[in-house]
Amino acid sequence: MAFPAGFGWGAATSAYQVEGGWDADGKGPCVWDTFTHQGGERVFKNQTGDVACGSYTLWEEDLKCIKQLGLTHYRFSLSWSRLLPDGTTGFINQKGIDYYNKIIDDLLTNGVTPIVTLYHFDLPQALEDQGGWLSEVIIESFDKYARFCFSTFGDRVKQWITINEPNIFAVMAYEFGVFPPGVPHVGTKAYQAAHNLIKAHARSWHSYDSLFRKEQKGMVSLSVFAGWVEPADPASVSDQEAVKRAMAFQLDFFAKPLFIDGDYPEVVKSQVALMSKKQGYSSSRLPEFTEEEKRMIKGTADFFAVQYYTTHLVKNQENKKGELGLLQDVEVEVFPDPSWISLNWVCVVPWGIRKLLKYIKDTYNNPVIYITENGFPQGDPTSFDDTQRWEYFRQTFQELFKAIQLDKVNLQVYCAWSLLDNFEWNQGYNSRFGLFHIDFEDAARPRVPYTSAKEYAKIIRNNGLEGPP
């Protein structure tokens, strides 16, 4: 089961989740610093990312892990407020530039391709104070930050992700209020934030295209979170329609504007307009793109970056009472099949990733696809032997192999989440997705490989699995 020659095997992290050094060497505060320091049990045991994996001072240890695995690609994110403490280029923190220069140069020296994310949920607090993603001002701020990064690092970085999981971020921050700034605005502000996220991405893509692409010859995209969904009752027409709506609101909401025509899916627009009317709004709660904005947004992705973890069942759930909320707009009920193995929020459904990849191929004209995150939490934090978890990875690679060989999906890179156990947002250090175990009680933060790390290294060495699919 050899993968195509040159297939990319990677692992991923993000700045706030691994770096620590929250106020070191001139770094400005980000929204997660503020949010976690406020306490109030918003995060498991009021844990913070103040130290996390200590990667700001322990990069050399991370590099050892990367080399031990034999990765061809490493995805990491830049801390906006480490580079630009107040979010603007008014003050540039040279120590931040030095840190990321070292990471990039060390990776390249060791034959590892960097995939660099500009924004992974950690907005500078100074910009949040000006309205954050709910203000159109953020579009210009993000574009200037992106240009700064392209000009500073783009001579060596050729694969860029502008924004990580805008769909998850918008919902968690503004619909549920469990991510900073921490205030829920049910049914309204998540759409507003998503609208600005798409425009900020598109603007920065055009900046790259017009100012940097000719010389740097890189690629720019954004990464979308996508689970797969199946009808709860395969014989039910209404459940089949519910599946279409679920995919439209989750994945196509961000992918269709970028890859097809610069606008939201029709079913999304009609659903939100219909519900808004029922609720007495004078216009739809979903903002509209102008014709000029649609032209700007269309075609602003050089590859399709997707992050898959799990699959759910959906059934039609009519919003008869006209309740306000995103799920109510979709008119679906989402739940796992009780027969599936469940690890925390991840149901183990490896075949879902193949179906998702086929959907992307068929819907978006067979694009080059990068899986920029995929993984499973380790059930027993005290054991380094995660043989059962490795079995889920192995099954996943079998499905990827089938997607490439049988479905002719143009998958080129796979990144496991994550290189290290890290700060998993609201779950703090209670959820462990790392290939390397970290003892968060030990100030030295030793990195110890799980069985999965050793097995993944073999897959990379062989460029695939041994034996038949």
End-to-end CA distance of the chain: 6
Per-residue DSSP letter, 2: B
The rounded distance, in Å, linking the Cα atoms of 189 and 422 is 29
The rounded distance, in Å, linking the Cα atoms of 204 and 184 is 28
Distances (CA, A) of 452 to 128, 385, 401, 434: 39, 8, 19, 9
Number of H helices, E strands in the chain: 18, 15
- At 99 the three-state DSSP class reads helix
Q: Which of 19, 61, 128, 165 is catalytic?
A: 165
- At 425 the three-state DSSP class reads helix
The rounded distance, in Å, linking the Cα atoms of 127 and 418 is 28
Q: Do 121 and 32 meet the contact criterion of CB atoms below 8 Å apart? A: yes
| Residue of 344, 371, 400 whose CA lies nearest to 4 | 400
Tokens of 392: 């889920």
The rounded distance, in Å, linking the Cα atoms of 382 and 399 is 30
- 373 counts as catalytic: yes
Q: Do 430 and 44 meet the contact criterion of CB atoms below 8 Å apart? A: yes
In single-letter form, the type of residue at position 92 comes to I
The owner of tokens 């995060």 is 43
- Could you count the other beta carbons within 10 Å of the beta carbon of residue 312? 20
What are the beta bridge partners of residue 417?
12
The owner of tokens 């599946």 is 243
In single-letter form, the type of residue at position 48 comes to T
Residue 54 phi, psi (nearest 5): 70, 20
Q: Do 93 and 53 meet the contact criterion of CB atoms below 8 Å apart? A: no
Instruction: Characterize the bridge pairing of strands 8-12 and 73-77.
Output: parallel
Q: What is the per-residue burial (b if ≥16 Cβ within 10 Å, else e) of 397-435?
A: bbbbbbbbeeeebbbbbbbbbbbbbbbbbbbbbebbbbb
Tokens of 31: 């929204």
In single-letter form, the type of residue at position 232 comes to A
Q: Which of 19, 61, 128, 373 is catalytic?
A: 373
Point out the residues that are catalytic.
165, 373
